[in-house]
Amino acid sequence: MTPEQLQFDRENIWHPYTSMTNPTPCLPVTSTQGVYLHLSTGEKLIDGMASWWSSIHGYGHPLLNKAAHQQIDTMSHVMFGGLTHEPAIELAKKLTAITPEGLDKVFLSDSGSVAVEVAIKMAFQYWISKGLSEKNRLLTVRNGYHGDTFAAMAVCDPVNGMHDMFSDVLAKHYFAPSPKTKFDQQWDPQDISQLAELLSKHHQHIAALILEPIVQGAGGMRFYSPEYLTQAKRLCEEFNVLLIADEIATGFGRTGKMFACDHASISPDILCLGKALTGGYISLAATLTTTEIANTISDGGAGCFMHGPTFMGNPLACAVANASIDLLLASDWKSQVSSIEQQLKQGLEPARGLSNVADVRCLGAIGVIELKSPVDSVKIQEQFKQQGVWVRPFGKLVYIMPAYIMQPAIVQRLTAAMVEVVANH
């Protein structure tokens, strides 16, 4: 990559969450393999982020490469309106087989945020079709994150999230306090009381409760008790409110279960999937729901579900997703993720004693160091680069979500770098 290309990048390409007047430096990646990023400068970095949590099998896996090559030679894309194809059919079969019971209708889209938009629209159109159009608000919990499109932004944390500047133009919904009981703590029944109170008071106007099961991701990397999820599901049934589970970050084994909902043995009414769906190869997402919801919408006034992305059901993405799911199911992924969890706990434990650290927590293939004050992201990323690792912190959080294939010695290098950089930050 030439200096001229990098200069053009700085001056003309708008990267995620960056300023065009004071752009954050970007590292020039020329290739990837396994758990490594290869830079044009000749350096090789361990990727602790798995491409924003999606590359669960690592980069360049031969089975995923083969699936992509075979499909692109046959059909890279065809519109999904009025047409269908085998990769989408097989993917829907796989998803309905491995997701929580009762989710047997699959809507394919092209990104996680769109999957959330679809879920919200499903919930609203369901109640409209039942003649209850007054159920047009959502309930969620604080510290949540559901995406960057407008319906999704409206259910992100309105104060501590990334979208507070849009508060005057976003739809207004109900927010309960975020769960306080941690994943491994004894359940406090009072933890659910305010959610129950909001449902009791406003259920006539609430279409759905939307939350991230067990792990609140970009809103704070918080891990909460499965009992909260169990009780939330019970309350939704009691007050006739749908439950939307946003598993875009947690789906496909990240928390140690195939889906985070499995920690509580519950099945949501609507489920959102993305990120790891294709093993990080191509953008693809899915929103699953029940037959009852799908039939109610279909028999309503519109006679159909009113949504249809151009690249919905992209054959190339579906083919890679099929290969990724097959690869996951054929592997000993539970042992891999459990082993990574133990390595993360052991490797990050020394950070707990640092004066600038507020907390250290791990769950599945997720390791988090929470600092007492926000990090200087540019400075700390350069320090990580010098350690030979790629970690992208945000706010007070220095965290990793490695690929499941990462070997113990590599995990150890990654955690050691995190502890050293945090200690010197």
Active-site residue, 246 included: yes
Active-site residue, 174 included: no
Residue 94, burial from CB neighbour count under 10 angstroms (0-12, 13-18, 19+): middle
**From the candidates 17, 130, 172, 299, which is the catalytic residue?**
17
Residue 82, burial from CB neighbour count under 10 angstroms (0-12, 13-18, 19+): exposed
Q: Which tokens belong to 408? A: 């113990």
| CATH number for the domain whose boundaries are 65-330 | 3.40.640.10
DSSP annotation string for 91-149: HHHHHHHHSSTT--EEEEESSHHHHHHHHHHHHHHHHHHTT-TT--EEEEETT----SS
**From the candidates 47, 246, 262, 269, which is the catalytic residue?**
246
Active-site residue, 73 included: no
Alpha-carbon gap, residue 175 to 139, rounded angstroms: 6
pTM: 0.97
The count of other CB atoms within 10 Å of the CB of residue 381 is 20
Q: How many helices (H) does the chain have, and how many strands (E)? A: 13, 16
Q: Which tokens belong to 388? A: 């030979």
Alpha-carbon gap, residue 290 to 99, rounded angstroms: 12
Alpha-carbon gap, residue 158 to 152, rounded angstroms: 11
Alpha-carbon gap, residue 233 to 214, rounded angstroms: 13
pLDDT in the model for residue 163: 73
Alpha-carbon gap, residue 415 to 425, rounded angstroms: 15
Distance of CA 246 to the CA centre of its chain: 7
Alpha-carbon gap, residue 336 to 330, rounded angstroms: 12
Q: In what order do the strands lie in the sheet with 242-246?
A: 105-109, 285-289, 270-273, 242-246, 206-211, 137-141, 174-176
Residue 225, burial from CB neighbour count under 10 angstroms (0-12, 13-18, 19+): buried
99 and 288 in contact (C-beta within 8 Å)? yes
DSSP annotation string for 153-222: HTTS-TTTSS-GGGTTTSPP-EEEPPP-SBTTSPP-GGGGHHHHHHHHHHGGGEEEEEE-SSEETTTT-E
The reply to whether CATH 3.30.230.10 applies to domain 3-60+335-424 is: no
Name the strand (E) or helix (H) holding 326.
helix 315-330
pLDDT in the model for residue 315: 98
Alpha-carbon gap, residue 333 to 331, rounded angstroms: 5
**From the candidates 262, 275, 281, 396, which is the catalytic residue?**
275
174 and 137 in contact (C-beta within 8 Å)? yes
pLDDT in the model for residue 167: 85
The count of other CB atoms within 10 Å of the CB of residue 196 is 17
For the chain, give every domain's residue range. Answer: 3-60+335-424, 65-330
pLDDT tens track, the chain, 425 positions: 899 999 999 999 999 989 999 988 899 999 999 999 999 999 999 999 999 999 999 999 999 999 999 999 999 999 999 999 999 999 999 999 999 999 999 999 999 999 999 999 999 999 999 999 999 999 999 999 999 999 999 999 987 767 778 888 999 999 999 999 999 999 999 999 999 999 999 999 999 999 999 999 998 999 999 999 999 999 999 999 999 999 999 999 999 999 999 999 999 999 999 999 999 999 999 999 999 999 999 999 999 999 999 999 999 999 999 999 999 999 999 999 999 999 999 999 999 999 999 999 999 999 999 999 999 988 999 999 999 999 999 999 999 999 999 999 999 999 999 999 999 98
**From the candidates 145, 174, 224, 228, which is the catalytic residue?**
145
116 and 107 in contact (C-beta within 8 Å)? no
Active-site residue, 385 included: no
pLDDT in the model for residue 99: 98
